[in-house]
Chains A and B, each alone.
Chain A
Amino acid sequence: MLEYAYYPGCSLECTAASYDKSIREVFKALGVGLKEIEDWNCCGATMYMSVKKIVGYAISARNLALAQKMGMDICAPCSSCYTILRKANRHIEWEPKEREKINEALAAANLSYDTTIAIKHPLDILVNEVGLDAIKAKVVRPLDGIKVAPYYGCQIVRPHGQFDDVDDPVTMDKLLSTLGAEPVYYPSKVRCCGGMLMTTQEDIALKLNNCLLQAAADNGADMIATACPLCEMNLEAYQGKINQRFGTKFNIPIVYFSHLVGVALGISPKAMGIDSLIIPPTKLTAKAEGVRI
């Protein structure tokens, strides 16, 4: 049986709780084990690296060391955590001198790490480990009639393109088709949402997200599927502000790709926290209730 050390990350505890719930439910339904890393800490995000590098990697490495103790690879749904943990891992592997320093820092907490752990994103796990055939066999509510813009964002495909192309990834497209949904042409699939710029430079971030929403609307998407808590929040919670600023009338639901998988597998939207979304994905919830679209 597939089993992973689960690293939810800070956002999934709070602003993206529905991402956390849906990943747990979907993995359970597919028979993939998720064992939360006990007492995990913040990965350091993009911000720690802006201040101090070795310290940033060292706190990331605590999580890696804890997973190593469990003897399992990590499943990290937050794309920022995913990239940061992978970066720390790669860095420790690449530079023996740094590895020494980081292990010395870890020793202060009686831990050590020797880069034997792989960090994986649930999208990668679902498509490449569980497999599309296995998922298809468990689909009880095909999502036919739902058009979805597959939005990958930056961090799961870049910088290293671990499981898909950096410019034109198709993993989520394939997954959506397997569920019966229609992935629409979405040229902005790897364009940046601005990330933390929504806090620090709102004007810029609003503009970036306006482009993302416009591209989805232009291509007839009923909703946008994301794989990152920050993308989801920027696109959803600021949609009203974008409408005000640019005179648009967007009302595009933003869901996590795992919500779509869950509904197709017959999991109730409530169990996945879909009711906590600001813009209700009515087509998806109707599907869950068995309404034909």
Chain B
Amino acid sequence: MAERIAPFPKAEAELRAAFWEQVSSFPDGHKVTNCIQCGTCTGTCPVSYAMDITPRQTIALFRAGLLEEILRSRTIWLCASCYSCTVRCPSGIKITDTMYALKRVAMEKQIHAPHFPVHTLSKAFVKNVYKYGRNYELGLGIRYFLKSNIVKLFTLSGFGLTMMRRGRLGLLPKKIRRVNEVRAIINRANQFEEI
């Protein structure tokens, strides 16, 4: 999708190109242009109170040519993907999917909020799937807290013990038999991501 107005600095223009490519690749992605700034998304969002930029402001800032600022916000990584905004938006904008699109642009361009390592959890998750074909919950948790907050790792040991005593914590990862199939699919699909 081409921008109608184009006087953006080069860096911003590049980010916007990546964003448009992302939103044009899911059903109704283009409807993001229909925003009427009513704020229903922000009102319905259970975590907007903790966001530095609200969902409504996200679209306003984008229109103002400040995509980089959005990518540097905590907002996109606070979205818990509950789809409340998506089902209530009177303009039919797929807001949750747009948040995912923003996350992917942020990952691709490596632009993140300072001191806010939430995205590293997704990265660790992706590595787990490549390795085992499944999610390894304990490994994922440990890997994340080692990178983000080592102190928290120790405070969580009580929680771990409670779950373990009830047989609800898998100590070892479960690898699927044909993990090679999953890896082959990932490798092949990865080629399509680098456009």
Note all chain A residues with C-beta closer than 8 A to B9.
Answer: none
Give A275's nearest chain B residue, CB to CB.
B166
CB contacts (< 8 Å) of B181 on chain A: these are: 41, 62, 108-109, 111
Contacts of A102 in B (CB 8 A): 189
Question: Given A39-B177, A197-B47, A201-B78, A47 and B25 touching (CB < 8 A)?
Answer: no
Residue of A41, A161, A191 near B87 (CB, 8 A) is: A161
Residues 34-72 (chain B) with a chain A CB within 8 angstroms = 46-47, 50
A82-120 contacts to B, CB under 8 A, are 90-91, 94-95, 98, 101-102, 104-109, 111
Report B65-92 CB contacts with A as 1/0, cut-off 8 Å. Answer: 0000000000001101111101100000
Q: How many residue pairs bridge A and B at CB < 8 Å?
A: 195
Is A44 at the interface (CB under 8 A from chain B)?
yes
Knowing A13-B170, A50-B103, say if A201 contacts B129 (CB, 8 Å). Answer: no
Judge if B104 is at the interface, Cβ distance under 8 Å. Answer: yes
Which residues of chain A come closer than 8 Å to B163, judged between CB atoms? Answer: 15, 237
Cα A15 to Cα B174 with chains together (Å): 13
Inter-chain contact A192/B185, CB cutoff 8 Å: no
Q: Are the CB atoms of A195 and B50 closer together than 8 Å? A: no
A253 at the interface (CB under 8 A from B): no
A126, CB-defined interface residue at 8 Å = no
The interface residues of chain A lying within 8 Å CB-to-CB of B46 are 191-192, 194, 208
Nearest residue, chain A, Cβ from B159: A237
Contact B78 A204 (CB under 8 A): yes
Minimum CB–CB distance from A274 to chain B (whole Å) comes to: 11
Q: Is A35 part of the contact surface with B, judged by Cβ < 8 Å?
A: no
- B162 near A237 (CB under 8 angstroms)? yes
Q: Which of A11, A105, A154, A275 contacts B188 (CB 8 A)?
A: A105
Q: Which of A54, A108, A192, A203 contacts B193 (CB 8 A)?
A: A54
Q: Is B87 within 8 A of A197, CB to CB?
A: no
Taking a contact as CB atoms under 8 Å apart, the answer to whether A17 and B176 are in contact is no
Contact at A15–B168, with CB atoms within 8 Å? Answer: yes
Closest to B100 in A: A49
B107, B128, B166, B176, most chain A CB atoms within 10 A? B166
| Chain B window 81-117, contacts with chain A (Cβ cutoff 8 Å), 1 for yes, 0 for no | 1111011000000101000100110010000000000
Contact of A106 among B22, B50, B84, B185 (CB under 8 A): B185
- The answer to whether A192 touches B126 (Cβ under 8 A) is no
Q: Determine whether the beta carbon of A40 is less than 8 Å from that of B107.
A: no
| Min CB gap A67→B, angstroms | 15
Interface size range on B against A:
35 or more
Is residue A276 within 8 Å, beta carbon to beta carbon, of the partner chain?
A: yes
Are A41 and B170 in touch, CB under 8 angstroms? no
In the complex, B134 has a CB within 8 A of chain A: yes
Task: Give Cα distance in the complex from A71 to B87, angstroms.
Answer: 32
Q: Is the CB of A58 within 8 A of B50?
A: no
Chain B 162-195 against A: per-residue CB contact (8 Å), 1 yes, 0 no?
1100111110001011110110111111101100
A1-43 interface (Cβ within 8 A of B): 10-11, 13-17, 39-42
Among the listed B83, B169, B174, which residue makes an inter-chain contact with A154, where contact means beta carbons less than 8 Å apart? B83
Q: How far apart sit A155 and B162, CA to CA, in the bound complex (Å)?
A: 27
What are 24 A-B contacts with C-beta separation under 8 Å? A10-B135, A11-B135, A14-B137, A14-B169, A16-B168, A41-B176, A45-B125, A47-B121, A47-B126, A50-B100, A50-B122, A52-B126, A53-B26, A53-B100, A62-B182, A90-B27, A95-B27, A107-B188, A192-B84, A194-B47, A200-B144, A237-B159, A276-B166, A276-B167
Please give me the 3 A-B residue pairs with the lowest Cβ-Cβ distance, nearest first: A158-B83, A192-B82, A109-B181
